[in-house]
Amino acid sequence: MRPTLALVAASSLMVAATACNGQEASNAEAENRAARGAPVESRPANNPDQRPAFEGQTRAPGVTTQAAYTVSPMAEGLDHPWALQQLPSGHWLVTERSGALRLFSADGADLGAVSGVPAVHAERQGGLLDVALSPDFATDRLVYFSYAEDRADGNGTTVARARLSGDERSLSGTQVIFRAWPSYSNSMHYGSRLAFDREGRLYITLGERSDLETRPQAQDLGSHLGKIIRINADGSIPADNPYVGREGARPEIWSLGHRNVQGAALNPWTGELWAMEHGARGGDEVNIVRGGLNYGWPTIAYGMEYRGGAIGEGLTAREGLEQPVYYWDPVIAAGGAAFYDGEAFPEWEGNLLVSGLGGKHLARLVIEDNRVVGEERLLTDQNQRIRDVQVAADGSVWVVTDEDNGRLIRIAPAG
């Protein structure tokens, strides 16, 4: 029997189930806003001279889950897992950075590696990265995955799809549907989260490959670097993409001005894409990503350079550039994310769950009218780099931890 740790929240805060993004908050929630506590972040900002663009853009009031729940390590011994995805069978696909796609049962049993995964560039931030199911998986059994790919002129983010066998043990018919251009010779900032929208179009998040040499390409529509891409499920380009037909622009581009987006979640109530972006020293962002908009990197940014000093001209705002919905300074190193829409935790309904790598926690963000109004840090006692989070069919929450001895962990109501 696997060990289970019971966690019971010990706080007098009353946090009601929260309406999300355009829905009015319940009367109970409105009445209890004043009861929310001090921000969970108590460390000084890396750049204390910066000010948020609006109230609540950072350091939202702390909230505490009232329901008792259990945290259960379901499996361990994973090699730096990057993503997880539940299959209709209840089994879980888990990617490992080294290039393995692993299969686990609903009770955490290791069912072995899935064969047929292409070779990957497994170094530093590169490797086998995200995994997602086709919106029509029930009929086409297609699995989509992203990875860092070695190329003749460097390496880059590649997205492919393949058919999963009926026994879930192998992939076949692999087809590359997107390659980020240009290639580059380092092993940083691949982005690489995958998300399908309601119409079955695929969003691919990309980084600007980190170096000062490539950083300006986040503002260059002739490059995929530092962008979020939108394509059809077969790799073709939607006719209504914002830059289709624009001379010198890559038609796959949906938005620009991103540093390194490693989290993405479709809001099930509004259909909009929310993205989690790594900042430097300070400046991790949560953005609502809309077509044709510029999210500012590196022209505007919160935080500072790793080596110290201002990022560019030190600006945090400029006309025509988008502000994040929320940012962290110091950073949590935001990874994967998921909106909670399940029956197991009614008080989490509509909340955004964001995995924290450097922060070693799972952030629960309470959302009202597209603003963060409360924040909680879960799984802090695990002392693990939380890489990705998914909500299971039964409403339990599962995460993977990016460690040499990575874990697959389940959060479920107690009792």
Burial of 344 (0-12, 13-18, 19+ CB in 10 A): middle
- State how far the Cα of 415 lies from the Cα of 411, in Å rounded to an integer: 12
> Kind and range of the H or E element at 390?
strand 386-391
Helix (H, G, I), strand (E, B) or coil at 38: strand
- State how far the Cα of 158 lies from the Cα of 150, in Å rounded to an integer: 10
- State how far the Cα of 153 lies from the Cα of 384, in Å rounded to an integer: 36
On the CB side of 216, CA atoms within 13 Å amount to 2
Catalytic residue IDs:
189
Question: For 115-227, where are the E strands, in sequence order?
Answer: 128-133, 142-151, 154-164, 171-179, 194-196, 202-205
Partnered with residue 353 across adjacent β-strands are 338, 364
Alpha-helical (H) ranges within 318-412 are none
Residue-by-residue DSSP string for 77-125: EESSEEEEEE-TTS-EEEEETTS-EEEE-TT--EEEEEB-PPP---STT
**Which pair of structure tokens corresponds to residue 271?**
């259909």
Burial 86-120 (b: 16+ CB within 10 A, else e): bbeeeebbbbbbebbbbbbebebeeeeebebbeeb
CB 226 within 8 A of CB 257: yes
CB 377 within 8 A of CB 362: yes
Burial 269-294 (b: 16+ CB within 10 A, else e): eeeebbbbbbbbbbbbbbbbbeeebb
**Which pair of structure tokens corresponds to residue 39?**
């921000």
